[in-house]
Amino acid sequence: MAAPDLVNLSGLMDDAKCFAFVRQHRWPEGVHCLGCASPAVVRAGCDDTQPARQRYRCKACASRFDDLTDTVLAGHHQPLRVWVLCLYFMGLNLSNGRGSVRLLWRKKRLGV
Ligand SMILES: [Zn+2]
Protein backbone atom coordinates (compact mmCIF):
# COMPACT_ATOMS: atom_id res chain seq x y z
CA MET A 1 0.00 0.00 0.00
CA ALA A 2 1.44 3.40 -0.98
CA ALA A 3 1.67 6.20 1.56
CA PRO A 4 -0.73 9.05 0.72
CA ASP A 5 2.03 11.69 1.04
CA LEU A 6 4.48 9.90 -1.25
CA VAL A 7 5.98 12.26 -3.82
CA ASN A 8 6.92 11.01 -7.27
CA LEU A 9 10.47 12.39 -7.61
CA SER A 10 10.70 11.85 -11.34
CA GLY A 11 7.62 14.03 -11.75
CA LEU A 12 9.34 16.86 -9.89
CA MET A 13 12.24 17.05 -12.33
CA ASP A 14 10.16 18.92 -14.88
CA ASP A 15 9.83 22.70 -14.26
CA ALA A 16 6.19 22.83 -15.33
CA LYS A 17 5.31 19.97 -12.98
CA CYS A 18 7.28 21.60 -10.14
CA PHE A 19 5.35 24.85 -10.50
CA ALA A 20 2.07 22.93 -10.74
CA PHE A 21 3.06 21.03 -7.59
CA VAL A 22 3.86 24.22 -5.67
CA ARG A 23 0.66 25.88 -6.97
CA GLN A 24 -1.43 22.91 -5.86
CA HIS A 25 0.04 22.97 -2.35
CA ARG A 26 0.03 26.74 -1.99
CA TRP A 27 -3.55 27.19 -3.13
CA PRO A 28 -5.34 23.84 -2.71
CA GLU A 29 -8.74 25.53 -3.23
CA GLY A 30 -7.60 27.57 -6.23
CA VAL A 31 -5.47 30.68 -6.58
CA HIS A 32 -6.38 33.54 -4.24
CA CYS A 33 -5.06 37.11 -4.22
CA LEU A 34 -2.13 37.63 -1.86
CA GLY A 35 -3.31 41.15 -1.08
CA CYS A 36 -7.04 40.81 -0.47
CA ALA A 37 -7.59 37.01 -0.55
CA SER A 38 -10.14 37.32 -3.35
CA PRO A 39 -10.60 34.25 -5.54
CA ALA A 40 -11.33 36.59 -8.50
CA VAL A 41 -7.90 36.12 -10.03
CA VAL A 42 -7.01 35.87 -13.72
CA ARG A 43 -3.88 34.55 -15.36
CA ALA A 44 -1.64 37.33 -16.65
CA GLY A 45 1.06 35.64 -18.67
CA CYS A 46 4.18 33.87 -17.51
CA ASP A 47 7.57 34.90 -16.20
CA ASP A 48 10.06 35.94 -18.90
CA THR A 49 12.87 33.69 -17.68
CA GLN A 50 10.76 30.90 -16.14
CA PRO A 51 7.97 30.09 -18.62
CA ALA A 52 6.25 27.68 -16.22
CA ARG A 53 5.96 30.38 -13.52
CA GLN A 54 2.41 31.71 -13.87
CA ARG A 55 1.61 35.38 -13.24
CA TYR A 56 -1.78 36.49 -11.90
CA ARG A 57 -3.79 39.70 -11.62
CA CYS A 58 -6.49 40.21 -9.01
CA LYS A 59 -9.75 41.51 -10.44
CA ALA A 60 -10.78 42.90 -7.04
CA CYS A 61 -7.73 44.98 -6.07
CA ALA A 62 -5.63 44.86 -9.29
CA SER A 63 -2.55 43.55 -7.47
CA ARG A 64 -0.17 41.34 -9.42
CA PHE A 65 1.70 38.31 -8.16
CA ASP A 66 3.01 34.97 -9.36
CA ASP A 67 3.41 31.40 -8.16
CA LEU A 68 6.38 32.26 -5.93
CA THR A 69 5.61 35.82 -4.77
CA ASP A 70 6.18 36.21 -0.99
CA THR A 71 7.61 32.71 -0.65
CA VAL A 72 11.03 31.55 0.46
CA LEU A 73 11.39 30.12 -3.04
CA ALA A 74 11.24 33.53 -4.75
CA GLY A 75 14.31 35.50 -5.74
CA HIS A 76 16.68 32.56 -6.05
CA HIS A 77 18.62 31.75 -9.17
CA GLN A 78 18.44 28.00 -8.69
CA PRO A 79 15.65 26.29 -10.65
CA LEU A 80 12.54 25.61 -8.60
CA ARG A 81 13.01 21.86 -8.96
CA VAL A 82 16.27 22.11 -6.98
CA TRP A 83 14.48 23.78 -4.06
CA VAL A 84 11.57 21.37 -4.15
CA LEU A 85 13.92 18.41 -4.11
CA CYS A 86 16.00 19.97 -1.30
CA LEU A 87 12.87 20.45 0.80
CA TYR A 88 11.88 16.87 0.08
CA PHE A 89 15.26 15.49 1.09
CA MET A 90 15.29 17.66 4.22
CA GLY A 91 12.30 15.63 5.26
CA LEU A 92 9.76 18.39 5.10
CA ASN A 93 6.25 17.22 4.48
CA LEU A 94 5.15 18.96 1.31
CA SER A 95 1.60 17.71 1.51
CA ASN A 96 0.12 19.31 4.61
CA GLY A 97 0.43 22.30 6.92
CA ARG A 98 2.84 20.84 9.50
CA GLY A 99 6.51 21.56 8.88
CA SER A 100 5.67 22.10 5.28
CA VAL A 101 6.34 24.45 2.42
CA ARG A 102 3.12 26.18 3.40
CA LEU A 103 4.59 26.89 6.84
CA LEU A 104 7.73 28.30 5.24
CA TRP A 105 5.56 30.60 3.13
CA ARG A 106 3.79 31.83 6.26
CA LYS A 107 7.14 32.50 7.93
CA LYS A 108 8.34 34.42 4.89
CA ARG A 109 5.20 36.57 4.82
CA LEU A 110 5.53 37.29 8.55
CA GLY A 111 9.24 38.06 8.16
CA VAL A 112 10.20 35.32 10.62
ZN1 LIG B 1 -6.75 41.33 -4.52
63 C-alpha to ligand 1 centroid (Å): 6
Can you state the angle between helices 101-110 and 15-26, rounded to 10 degrees?
70
CA of 61 from ligand 1 middle (Å) equals 4
CA of 71 to the centre of ligand 1 (A): 17
Q: Which residues surround ligand 1, an ion (CB under 5 A)?
A: 33, 35-36, 38, 58, 60-61, 63
CA 26-29-30 angle, to 5 degrees, is 75
Who has greater pLDDT, 93 or 90?
Answer: 90
Gap from CA of 39 to ligand 1 centroid (Å): 8
pLDDT tens, 14-69? 888 889 888 988 899 999 999 999 999 999 999 998 899 999 999 999 999 999 99
70 vs 38, more confident: 38
Domain boundaries, given as residue ranges, for the chain? 12-110
Q: Is the pTM of this model over 0.75?
A: no
What is the 104 CA–ligand 1 centroid distance (Å)?
22
Spatial distance between the Cα atoms of 57 and 46, rounded to a whole number of angstroms: 12
